[in-house]
Amino acid sequence: MEDNVPTPEPEQTEPKAVLDGWMTRAELAKELGVCVDTLSRWQTMRIGPPCVRTGRRVFYRREGVLDWLRQKEIRENRISNL
């Protein structure tokens, strides 16, 4: 006996954009309330969130920024408790 159960169609989903989860320097500066030059300076001093440069553009992975903020929180809490 043959099973005549229809096979469900795979769900059609929108393809994700390549830069989903990434922010430009201007977008991050706005979210953090600092100027773009501050982020540039932090990158030069290696104290800012991790970033990727593609040509002249700089991108920050949202999850990397969150990790950086968590690290700052931990470090600053330790210093203030001394």
Assess whether pLDDT exceeds 60 at residue 1.
Answer: no
Closest among 21, 54, 61, 24 to 39, alpha carbons compared: 24
In which domain, by residue range, is 32 found? Answer: 22-80
* pLDDT at site 37: 98
From CA 37, how far away is CA 48, in angstroms rounded? 12
* pLDDT tens-digit map of 19-68: 999 999 999 999 999 999 999 999 999 999 999 999 999 999 999 999 99
Confidence category of residue 2, pLDDT binned at 50, 70, 90: low
* pLDDT at site 33: 98
* pLDDT at site 80: 74
Residue 72 lies in a domain: yes
Residue 54 lies in a domain: yes
Residue 14 lies in a domain: no
Q: Count up the domains in the chain and report the number.
A: 1
